[in-house]
Amino acid sequence: MENGGCVIEVEGLHTRFGNHVVHEDIDLCVYHGEVLGLVGGSGSGKTALMRQMLGLERPTHGSIRVFGQSLYGHNRKQLRAMRNRCGVLFQKGALFSALSVYDNIALPMRELRTLDEDMIRRLVMLKLKMVDIDARHADKMPAELSGGMIKRIALARAMALDPELLLLDEPTAGLDPELSDGFVKLIQTMRTELTLTIVMATHDLDTLVALSDRIAVLADQRMVALGPLKEVINRNHPFIANFFLGERGKRTLANHVDI
Ligand SMILES: Nc1ncnc2c1ncn2[C@@H]1O[C@H](COP(=O)(O)OP(=O)(O)OP(=O)(O)O)[C@@H](O)[C@H]1O
Ligand SMILES: [Mg+2]
């Protein structure tokens, strides 16, 4: 099973696109049940790393184990079984624009080919309720929805198969502070009701601080810090100084009394 409590284990990971080196020698263990916040400047390779964790892309060197198994020994069927244990909220294209809200959430359930439409209907309604979206929106198309609703429905879809592992890529990007807070509360509630391991990439310091048990910082192609917020902010690195200890960062952190 999972090695030393790591749901995801990354070892010696290097990523290069042509001459462009994105990751250099990244090691990381994502513990069972934790929320790991992933931060780094734009282009630092957060999305690329999350795609690699799902086996959607392969690093240039290094290994990734998910649920205790190497992604690269998997055939398509095994890869699909692994992905069925993961919920994903992508940074881009959160929902399929040609499908209704209902069909977006039903899609992963239908792909399983083991549930009948009655069961799927019940589950879709349950997931909508979980993210606090009224059933009357089920037949709407994504273009008719606000940004906050799209994020919530994308989360409902990510939770469609009751995943053990949730990958969230910029879940609150584009939301106003109130909607971001709502999203944070939703994730917090889900965590109290389910055992979830979460990897979340975000630029949003409020969301990061509210949800993360540990924070991983990508800069200069490397993981320059990994640990609880208190430890990370004490690391001497220009990105960290700028991100956490600039004017905005200081204001956010001041609201968190335990620091
Ligand atoms: N499939 C690809 N082919 C070529 N270059 C890629 C590919 N995927 C990512 N890159 C490059 O790798 C770098 C890291 O991209 P990535 O999207 O992971 O950054 P990010 O940290 O998620 O940024 P942001 O904060 O803007 O979302 C970028 O320079 C990007 O252009
Ligand atoms: Mg990204």
pLDDT tens profile 130-175: 999 999 999 999 999 988 899 899 999 999 999 999 999 999 988 8
> What is the C-alpha separation between 38 and 46, in angstroms, rounded?
7
Alpha carbon distance 68, 154 (integer Å): 27
Give the ligand with the smallest distance to the CA of 46.
Answer: 1
Closest by CA position to 23, among listed 13, 37, 38: 13
Residue owning the nearest CA to atom 18 of ligand 1: 45
* pLDDT tens by residue, 173-197: 888 888 889 889 999 998 888 889 9
Task: Delimit the domains of the chain by residue range.
Answer: 33-60+76-85+165-259, 94-162
pLDDT of residue 255: 80
What's the pLDDT score for residue 174? 84
Q: Is the pTM of this model over 0.85?
A: yes
Ligand 1: residue whose CA is nearest its atom 9:
48
* pLDDT value, residue 1: 46
pLDDT of res. 240: 95
User: Which atom belonging to ligand 1 lies closest to the Cα atom of 49?
Assistant: 18
Q: Which residues line ligand 1 (CB under 6 A)?
A: 17, 22, 40, 42-48, 91
Hey, what long-range contacts does 237-246 have (CB within 8 A, 24 or more apart)?
239/40, 239/41, 243/39, 243/205, 244/205
Q: Residue 136 Cα, ligand 2 centroid: separation in angstroms?
A: 32
Q: 9 forms bridges with which residues in the sheet? A: 29, 65
Distance CA 252, CA 245 (A): 9
- C-alpha 45/C-alpha 144 separation (Å) is 32
CA of 19 to the centre of ligand 1 (A): 13
- Give 10-residue mean pLDDT values along the chain (259 residues): 78 97 98 97 96 95 95 88 93 86 96 93 95 95 92 92 95 88 91 92 94 97 96 94 88 74
| Backbone CA torsion sign across 123, 151, 148, 96 | negative
Per-residue model confidence (pLDDT) at position 247: 84
Which listed ligand is nearest to 22 at the C-alpha?
A: 1
* CA 147 to ligand 2 center in whole angstroms: 18
Backbone dihedral angles phi then psi of residue 166, each to the nearest 5 degrees: -120, 125
Task: Say if residues 210 and 182 touch (Cβ distance below 8 Å).
Answer: no
Pick the CATH number of 33-60+76-85+165-259 from 3.40.1280.10, 3.40.50.300, 3.40.30.10, 3.40.50.1010: 3.40.50.300
Residue nearest atom 30 of ligand 1, based on CA coordinates? 43
Q: Residue of the nearest CA to atom 1 in ligand 1?
A: 17
